Amino acid sequence: MGQIKDTMVKLKCSLCSRITHYTKRNKKKVKEKLALSKYCRFCKKNATHTESK
């Protein structure tokens, strides 16, 4: 098995603060925290999701 390069990160909805998505981030390539517009099933609309530990 090779090295683990990608780390699983949680994406938290900025509106309801729930963890709604999981994604991978290559910490060597992407230094900034993620901020993605994704659909939140709790808010039932698209919202900015930020990385959460």
Site residues for Zn ion per CB under 5 A: 13, 15-16, 40, 42-43
Query: Which residue number, 15 or 34, has a Cβ lying nearer to Zn ion?
Result: 15
Question: Shortest approach of Zn ion to residue 20 CB, angstroms?
Answer: 6
- Three-point CA angle 28, 15, 9, nearest 5°: 25
Question: Shortest approach of Zn ion to residue 31 CB, angstroms?
Answer: 26
Query: Which residue number, 9 or 13, has a Cβ lying nearer to Zn ion?
Result: 13
How far apart are alpha carbons 9 and 30 in whole angstroms?
12
Number of C-alpha atoms within 13 angstroms, CB side, residue 13?
17
